[in-house]
Amino acid sequence: MPAPVSPPLVPKTMRAAVFDVMAPHGVRIAERPRPSRAVAKGCCGRGAVVCAVRACGVNPVDAKYVIGDKLPESWMAWAARRVQGSTPGFDFSGEVLNAPPGSGLEAGDAVFGFGVDPASLAKRKLRGSFAEVVAAPLDQVAKKPATLSHIEAAALPLVGTTALQALREHGVAAGQRVLVVGASGGVGHVGVQVARAAGASVVGVCSGSNADFVTKCGADVVVDYRDADHIDQIAAAGPYDIVLDCVSSAAAVDRAHSYLDRVLASGCVKTRQDGADAHNYVVFGGTTGQWLKAAVKRFTCLNLFKRGFELFWIKMPRSAPFLAELAAWADQGRLRPTVNTVHAFDDAGVQAAFEALRGRRTAGKIVMDLERGAKDK
């Protein structure tokens, strides 16, 4: 009688990126414990699915140490120390290794979504998506679009969900006019496509060198922000029902553009006829005080922002329906994220990704290919 065949041994460790103040650009690859099924059962109290990561999208929030974008620029060094040893990353695309019964997922399913709940950073080191295996909250994952590769799908979760939630919350509808400032960036180029998929017409603001790219994303009009009269051009192309300002933030280089004050002063953003405040000039970055107001709105639904304006904060928990909607649009040919650069999952790759994002000149998204990194190690 032949001897029984033992099941293959599952590695106890994996490669993961970690924040490290001593490493170039504050990040490096290290060996970390591999998530187990037991860890997944207790993840965030909402159930989790263990996934092999094939690709992970890199976002500015990752390069800003997760919390640095919500603090004064002078606090960035403190933010780096606060997340020391954590694994960065939210976006991922990969395959299910273990899923809870009744979840609708099973081993081998291709999925994409958010590998971690950012609120977990309050309790422990972040276990983000820049890793070979993640235990992702079940309500933050959906089936991967069949028409997208893992590289493309990994570029979509944060930017797509941000744009969709912001537009949906502010009542985007067919026939409306949407202004997207920073239309060639991560959130911007997907925001153009999401607004078009909802039936709105779009005016995009970007550099002239990216005008063709933004037009291909679906913008009806593109304004070059380097033109001296670009605010006049923006106003002439309006009026706008919703503005998605993907540029304005607390950073000095962004404040110098003064889009919020100048666009609102031009009178091209609509107000509601019933007199209610639509808060329809939406930004995705701001001062610490504005982030606190966004937190109040997120947890209490009380909007403390000044008239006509608000900072929008993505809601990753329970985002699975939004991810599924984005996937459906992708499979229908109505949405496709653009990947600017793909890096191998190694020290040089993750450090180059952070360097590029801090340079603030990337059109589309940056993605890390974990399969490339695995072959090269």
Whole-number pLDDT of residue 2: 62
Whole-number pLDDT of residue 46: 73
Residue 3 has pLDDT above 90, yes or no: no
CA distance 60 to 370: 19
What are the tokens at 100?
A: 């809870």
Looking at residues 196-217, what average pLDDT do you find?
96
CA distance 328 to 293: 33
CA distance 248 to 118: 22
Looking at residues 40-52, what average pLDDT do you find?
75
Looking at residues 231-253, what average pLDDT do you find?
92
The model's confidence at residue 98, banded by pLDDT at 50, 70 and 90, is very high
CA dist list (Å): 294 to 18, 263, 297: 28, 21, 5
Q: Which residues pair with 311 in a beta bridge?
A: 283
Whole-number pLDDT of residue 206: 96
365-369 and 48-58 as β-strands: parallel, antiparallel, unpaired? antiparallel
Whole-number pLDDT of residue 142: 97
Whole-number pLDDT of residue 360: 73
pLDDT: which is higher, 39 or 204 = 204
Among the listed residues 48, 67, 60, 27, the one whose alpha carbon sits nearest the alpha carbon of residue 133: 48
Query: Could you report the per-residue pLDDT of 273-332, keeping only the tens digit for each?
Result: 666 677 899 999 989 999 999 999 988 989 999 888 999 999 999 999 999 999 999 999
Whole-number pLDDT of residue 248: 86
Query: Could you report the per-residue pLDDT of 4-33, keeping only the tens digit for each?
Result: 555 555 678 999 999 999 999 999 999 999
CB 203 within 8 A of CB 266: no
Cis omega before residue 157 (within 30°)?
no
Among the listed residues 17, 11, 13, 14, the one whose alpha carbon sits nearest the alpha carbon of residue 343: 17
What is the Cβ-side half-sphere exposure of residue 69, based on CA atoms within 13 angstroms? 20
CA distance 94 to 300: 34
Q: Which residues pair with 295 in a beta bridge?
A: none
Whole-number pLDDT of residue 189: 96
Looking at residues 230-251, what average pLDDT do you find?
93
Among the listed residues 100, 105, 94, 135, the one whose alpha carbon sits nearest the alpha carbon of residue 117: 135
Residue 39 has pLDDT above 60, yes or no: no
pTM here?
A: 0.92
Residue 45 has pLDDT above 80, yes or no: no
Query: pLDDT > 70: what percent of the chain?
Result: 93
Looking at residues 39-60, what average pLDDT do you find?
81
CA distance 183 to 203: 9
Residue 77 has pLDDT above 70, yes or no: yes
Whole-number pLDDT of residue 44: 58
* CA 37 to centroid of chain Cα atoms: 27
Whole-number pLDDT of residue 204: 98
β strands within the chain, DSSP E = 13-19, 27-33, 48-58, 91-98, 110-114, 133-137, 141-143, 177-181, 201-206, 221-224, 242-245, 281-283, 309-311, 339-344, 365-369
Whole-number pLDDT of residue 49: 94
Whole-number pLDDT of residue 73: 84
Q: What is the dihedral of CA 170, 173, 178, 181, to 10 degrees?
A: 50
Determine which helix (DSSP H) or strand (DSSP E) holds 347, and give its type and residue range: helix 347-359
pLDDT mean across residues, the chain: 90
Query: Could you report the per-residue pLDDT of 104-154, keeping only the tens digit for each?
Result: 999 999 999 999 988 777 777 889 999 999 999 999 999 999 999 999 999
Whole-number pLDDT of residue 219: 97
Residue 43 has pLDDT above 60, yes or no: no
Q: Which residues pair with 44 in a beta bridge?
A: none
